[in-house]
Amino acid sequence: MSQTLSASMLLAVPLAPLAGSALAGIWGTAFGGNKIGRGGSHSLTILGVLIAFILSAITFNSVIFDGARFDQSIYTWMEIGGLKMEVGFLIDSITAMMMCVVTFVSLMVHIYTIGYMQEDDGYNRFFSYISLFTFSMLMLVMSNNLLQLFFGWEAVGLVSYLLIGFYYNKPSAIFANMKAFLVNRVGDFGFILGIGLIAAYTGTMNYGEIFAKLPEIQNTLLPGTGWLLVTVTAICLFIGAMGKSAQFPLHAWLPDSMEGPTPISALIHAATMVTAGIFMVSRMSPLYELSDTALSFILVIGSITALFMGVLGIIQNDIKRVIAYSTLSQLGYMTVALGASAYSVAVFHLMTHAFFKALLFLGAGSVIMGMHHNQDIRWMGGVRKYMPITWITFLLGNLALIGTPFFSGFYSKDAIIEAVHATNLPGAGFANFAVLAGVFITAFYSFRLYFIVFHGKERYDQNPDAHHHGHDDHHAHDDHHGHGHDAKPHESPLVVTGPLMLLAIPSVVIGALALMPMLFGDFFKGVIHVDGSKHGAMAELAEKIHGWVPMALHGFTAAPFWLALAGVVVSYLFYMVKPEVPAAIKSSMQKIGVYQALEGKYGVDWVYENIFARGARAFGSFFWKVGDQAIIDGGIVNGSWKLIGRIGQWVRKLQSGYLYHYALVMLLGVFALMTYFVWLNK
């Protein structure tokens, strides 16, 4: 073990952002008297995240190049019987990679926020929240046990609630953060059950100890059922991932999370919260390899999400919402890779996606700033000549997203498609179709967005809602930069474009650099476990992929490239050459109800809101009105004293006070007793 991986250094990684968050949250807000102001708040939080990033980079270097590893408890919280509840760190290759991704993207978001939120009243509070978000995610990925993982899991959920509802006076934001909170609680219920089953049958929450005991329980049945324990446990844990990583049908919260400010969209969607489920399943790969049923379930769920959520991106007009549906689709791709036992490929796509998706979200935010807080792409057009840096970086992010050869997204996405093609689990046929169809769909909606925003006729002066605030107006006026509603777009300041340029670099090159080490080298050796005798996807990939250059060159001849190219060409023809065609298609789709189904998000939101939510409210109201008020309060509590009162009133009437009444009662009693004992009880 390398000496560089000391417990104190590792503790500093999550604690530095936490300290920045606490200082900005107390001294930078009215709560603590706002003693440090805006400059102090952003300086302290950025410093905390910068320290975390530098230490993460040092840790990564030690782990990858020096073979360092750290796995020990830092603090024992409590001990119940033989079950220890601890705070500890497991630092291996997957953790070190996640630490670098989380801290780097978070650092870019922090710097970007200086420019984006400059006129927002909640400036200091926002910096405190995003720094706390970084701390929560670091605690999640660095944990060496399920308890700490669950702490980080819930902490990112809590902070996402605060950030999505950042504009707490806005009804749509309040609805969105409540939706995110409740949907994630559904997933977390399954997650808790999974953790409980592991704790009950292994007697530990430590990863290493759990994996060591898996051979003992791999054939154990869940009591009272014919189901394998490992299958039930794996599916329960994945239900947690379905909520956190927004998989169908627990995906509904993610598009609505756009109600929060744009920087947090980049942080939630790119590097932190939504990747937690993918990370967890990859970390628990020894468990999932024991159950083909669980893997098949994951494969099908991921396929549904990748295909059908991508389709919804086609009809969106909010610039952030298009990218949000893209996130859903790409998370589906990662989940499909998990189902195909290609965990390293899923994590590889997680990493590449973090960079280019953060780039796209921050680029969208830059466009929103340049367009004076308009988010509707129908009132943009021709932005390219006014915002050249935003334009070129956004284009690079788009090219990475659609899987253009030599760009980072190509290597990870193509590897997923190949892995799915190689798997033979139930549902593999549908998965294969879904990931291929998803390539065309992704290219179509991505370049629809790109062409409408950056090319074509300028429409910024035609916006009928120009004098109204957009979804993400950060309490600013349309003309807060001194422009009217018909003012020309303008390039964002360096504090905004700088992070875009820095994110564009890994969006282009990181795939080529990491391809061979992460997929076929020793990068994940001893970290991710694949049973090659049952699941041969990775072995087949190793036969087909021989380097980043041959893979990219071969990519130009493969079906995914031509599908992506077709998507780009069709979007160009539809929105640049013949805009009347998509309008006609929309009209015909409206006539047969397809468009309405897409606009209603396949009815999932309607089901949640009108069946589950209203049903739960009706259920609760029934128990409140009938159970509590009528039966408990009205019948048992109030009814009992009323009955006693009536009995008392009746008994009081018997107490007349006349001696002859009492004598008569006494004689009647004696007569009754004599009758019973003499005549009836013989």
Tens-place pLDDT, residues 577-633: 888 888 888 888 888 888 888 888 888 888 888 888 888 888 888 888 888 888 888
Distance of CA 544 to the CA centre of its chain: 33
Q: Are 165 and 260 in contact (CB under 8 A)?
A: yes
Interatomic CA distance for residues 279 and 270, integer angstroms: 13
Instruction: Please tell me the predicted confidence (pLDDT) of residue 196.
Output: 92
pLDDT for 481 beyond 90: no
In this structure, is residue 470 part of a structural domain?
Answer: no
Does residue 466 sit in helix, strand or coil? coil
Domain boundary among 100, 122, 141: 141
Q: Residue 139's pLDDT is what?
A: 92
Do residues 97 and 225 both lie within one domain?
no
pLDDT in tens, 506-529: 999 999 898 888 888 888 888 888
Residues in the chain: 682
Confidence at 192, pLDDT banded by 50, 70, 90: very high
Q: Which residues contact 379 (CB under 8 A, 6 or more apart)?
A: 371, 459, 460, 462, 463, 465, 466
Tell me the CA distances in angstroms from 445 to 77, 183, 191, 329, 375, one per residue in order: 49, 27, 33, 12, 16
When the pLDDT of each residue in the chain is averaged and rounded to a whole number, the result is 86
pLDDT category of residue 482 using cuts at 50, 70 and 90: very low
Nearest by Cα to 558 from 407, 410, 360, 388:
410
pLDDT value of position 232: 93
For residues 442 and 328, is the Cβ–Cβ distance under 8 A? Answer: no
Q: Taking residues 112-118, report their average pLDDT.
A: 87
Instruction: Mark which of 141, 171, 203 sits at the end of a domain.
Output: 141
Between CA 359 and CA 402, with CA 112 as vertex, the angle to 5 degrees is 5
In this predicted model, what pLDDT tens digit does every residue of 253-283 receive, in sequence order?
888 888 888 888 777 877 778 888 999 999 9
The pLDDT assigned to 486 comes to 52
> Residue 347 pLDDT more than 80?
yes
Q: Which amino acid is at 631?
A: I
Which residue, of 141, 160, 180, is where some domain finishes? 141
Nearest to 519 by CA among 491, 541, 535, 497: 541
109 contacts 67 by C-beta, under 8 angstroms: no
pLDDT value, residue 464: 66
Is 471 inside any structural domain? Answer: no
- Write b or e for each residue in 172-192: b if 16 or more Cβ atoms lie within 10 A of its Cβ, otherwise e: ebeebbbbbbbbbebbbebbb
**DSSP H or E run through 74:** strand 70-80
- Is the Cβ–Cβ distance between 257 and 160 less than 8 Å? yes
Question: 3-state SS of 148-189?
Answer: HHHHHHHHHHHHHHHHHCCCCCCHHHHHHHHHHHHHHHHHHH
Local structure of residue 261 (DSSP, 8 states): -
Q: ∠ CA 18-22-23 to the nearest 5 degrees?
A: 120
Question: Which residues have C-beta within 8 Å of that of residue 665, sequence separation ≥ 6?
Answer: none
pLDDT band at 4 (very low <50, low <70, confident <90, very high): low
Confidence of residue 294 (pLDDT cuts 50, 70, 90): very high
pLDDT at position 477 is 34
Buried (b) or exposed (e) across 198-226, using 16+ Cβ within 10 A?
A: bbebbebbbbeebeeebeebeeeeeeeee
Q: Is there a single domain that holds both residue 229 and residue 296?
A: yes
Q: Does residue 312 lie in a domain region? A: yes
Q: State how far the alpha carbon of 604 is from the alpha carbons of 170, 172, 442, 609, in Å.
A: 24, 18, 21, 9
So what's the pLDDT on residue 378?
A: 85
Looking at the structure, do residues 454 and 552 belong to the same domain, yes or no? yes
Q: Which amino acid is at 527?
A: V
pLDDT greater than 50 at residue 352: yes
Examine residue 597 and state whether it is found in any structural domain, yes or no. no
pLDDT value for 465: 64
Q: Which of 90-99, 395-404, 467-476, 526-535 has the lowest mean pLDDT?
A: 467-476
Integer Cα distance of 537 and 542 in angstroms: 9
- List pLDDT tens digits, range 395-432: 999 999 998 998 998 999 999 999 998 888 888 899 99
- Euclidean distance between CA atoms 153 and 140, whole angstroms: 6
**pLDDT tens digits, 320-346:** 889 989 999 999 999 999 999 889 999
Per the structure, the complete domain to which residue 639 belongs is given by 605-680
| 586 lies in the same domain as 641 | no
Reply yes or no on whether the pLDDT at 474 is more than 60: no
Q: Are residues 553 and 616 in the same domain?
A: no
* Integer Cα distance of 412 and 348 in angstroms: 6
On whether both 125 and 175 belong to a single domain, the answer is: no
Q: Quick check: is 30 in a domain?
A: yes
171-197: average pLDDT: 90
Lookup: tokens for 89:
């760190």
Query: Is residue 188 domain-shared with residue 104, that is, in the same domain?
Result: no
- Model-wide pTM > 0.75: yes
Is residue 518 situated within a structural domain?
yes
Residue 476 lies in a domain: no
Q: Which two tokens stand for residue 65?
A: 């190049």
| pLDDT value, residue 118 | 83
Same structural domain, 294 and 399: yes
Q: By three-state DSSP, how is residue 629 classified?
A: helix
* Of 74 and 461, the one with more pLDDT: 74
235 touches 297 (CB < 8 A): yes
How do beta strands 70-80 and 83-91 pair?
antiparallel
Q: Give the pLDDT confidence score for residue 470 in this predicted structure.
A: 43
Q: Are residues 164 and 92 in the same domain?
A: no
Let me know whether 325 and 415 are in one domain. Answer: yes
Domain shared by 19 and 67, yes or no: yes
Q: Half-sphere exposure (CA, 13 Å, Cβ side) for 12? A: 16
Residue 133 lies in a domain: yes
Q: Is the pLDDT of residue 95 over 90?
A: yes
Q: Count the domains in the chain.
A: 3
Residue 576 clears pLDDT 70, i.e. is over it: yes
Could you tell me if 397 and 428 lie in one domain? yes
Q: What is the pLDDT of residue 469?
A: 43
